[in-house]
Chains A and B, each alone.
Chain A
């Protein structure tokens, strides 16, 4: 660590700080501010002009800006569409969290054990979905489950009635979960694998001497040692589930029932960019961040 020599650190940091202030800090504060307002239209008159010679920007002045106090938050209480969207999101959370822990962890344990050969090949194959484009892979899944597609053929072949995935709310919603499992299994597996490799071999040897079975070793050595990794996976998965937008958006575009597939972020998108109620949309954003933060804190507490 060096003492600051002249103003080097500030020179190094300044481009980042300008962008950070403008595109991250300001939007965060502005979202909270907008949550208490409602307005129609955007004015090009500027409220504040910043001219630094190289950087020139204006902070938007919003016309017909009307202070509505807590009205946006009161509206949430009686907003049935929001309640349904919350329910859909929580449903995905309830289905995906256990799935996104159990399957990847089982795979990681299998691929960490000397019983299995070709471990690196299997690992690479399972990681492939992580590199797939968010929307492109969803397009493939929708083509597979579309009427008369691959899923239908396979079902008929094994003698099951085809499922109308895209017309039935229950199946559409589960399709979102199914796609997420496809995409994130390898990702979570790699993180678990890294966690497993940090567990000292001596712990297992000690358990072995005490005559522990495989399951007892898992229960008393692996699980306690993996706790921090488990927490990391649960929290990152929680955040990614609560901000799900791409898959529901594409399903809705393909005609899936809105009611059962609309997530909170999709609803925010509709409110803000289809109805142009930017104030209410901001209030919903504040609500979502509050929910995610609360859930993460609870998970943190439970882990301790």
Chain B
């Protein structure tokens, strides 16, 4: 029996060791980001040999100010652009995905399987690889360098359509029948009966859609100009200078990361559900 206890203790010790090691690995860069954003450039780089700072400095507002006064990239504008684009995209995509999901889940119509298979078929194609034809298309439509150019192409998000179909299938038919008896129109069935019934599924999808657009990089890099930059494009442009201003970059990265972390902590349940629904890695 004694040996079994020892064995147990060893597994416990090993398990804690591994988990705590992983947590440190995850947290150190985040913690360093918080500290570095409050330091001048000379202290972010050039402390070789001395112990790294563990407490924040007092340069945060100087750095934020310097970031605002940049000649080349207007970073705060890009933050605003990213928020606008990701929000509009999320709303539009939620409407499209839930409407399609409802149609696929609750109606019979011609070519239903064929259309659904065509949508599923695009899942094997990493969608950001369609930049070349999209670039030609968008230039010809005259919408390059516009928010429409980065909102429209993936508003019909295949994963989202699939996910909404699965979710809507759980709505009992009797519920819809009852509403029909009460004289509801078909469209009222969709937004008065079906949508309220799948609230948590919608929330999970919303988080995933928002993050997808928030992280989109290759396509915006190709299609956007200076005034329309989103966060990732603006960051890479600031990085491309001979000597990157890391003091400003740390504040910029902080703005891009920390608010999302707070949102993540608040919406964690939906976030996890979204991941489990088979969200696609960007």
Q: Whole-angstrom distance between the alpha carbons of A237 and B52 in the complex?
A: 35
Contacts of B122 in A (CB 8 A): 24-25, 28
Quick check: is A64 within 8 A (CB to CB) of the other chain? no
Quick check: is A212 within 8 A (CB to CB) of the other chain? no
- Contact A13 to B103, CB < 8 A, known contacts A23-B154, A133-B231, A140-B250: yes
Contacts of B12 in A (CB 8 A): 115-116
Quick check: is A136 within 8 A (CB to CB) of the other chain? yes
Contact partner, B132, options A31, A182, A187, A236, Cβ 8 Å? A31
For the side of the interface on B, what is the size category? Answer: 35 or more
Q: Which of A11, A24, A124, A162 has the most CB of B within 10 A?
A: A24
- State the Cβ distance, A27 to closest chain B Cβ, in Å: 4
- Contact A153 to B47, CB < 8 A, known contacts A17-B115, A31-B132, A144-B32: yes
Docked complex: A1-32 residues within 8 A CB-CB of B: 1-6, 8-13, 15-17, 19-20, 22-28, 30-31
Q: Is A110 touching B134 in the complex (CB atoms < 8 A)?
A: no
Q: From A157, which residue of chain B is reached at the shortest CB distance?
A: B51
For the side of the interface on A, what is the size category? Answer: 35 or more
For the residues of B in contact with A, the DSSP-based class is helix
Q: Is A137 touching B126 in the complex (CB atoms < 8 A)?
A: no
Contact partner, A113, options B15, B29, B97, B253, Cβ 8 Å? B15
Q: Is A9 touching B23 in the complex (CB atoms < 8 A)?
A: no
* Residues of B bordering A, CB below 8 Å: 8, 11-12, 15-16, 18-19, 22-23, 25-27, 29-30, 32-33, 36, 44-52, 96-97, 99-100, 102-103, 106-109, 112, 115, 118-119, 122, 124-137, 139-141, 152-156, 158, 161, 173, 176, 186-187, 190, 211, 214-215, 217-218, 221-222, 231-232, 235-236, 239-240, 244, 246, 249-250, 252-253, 256-257, 260-261, 263-265, 268, 271-272, 275-276, 278, 280-282
A–B pairs, 19, beta carbons within 8 Å: A9-B108, A9-B112, A10-B109, A16-B161, A23-B154, A24-B122, A27-B133, A60-B136, A60-B139, A127-B271, A136-B231, A136-B253, A140-B30, A149-B45, A185-B26, A245-B128, A250-B235, A265-B129, A288-B126
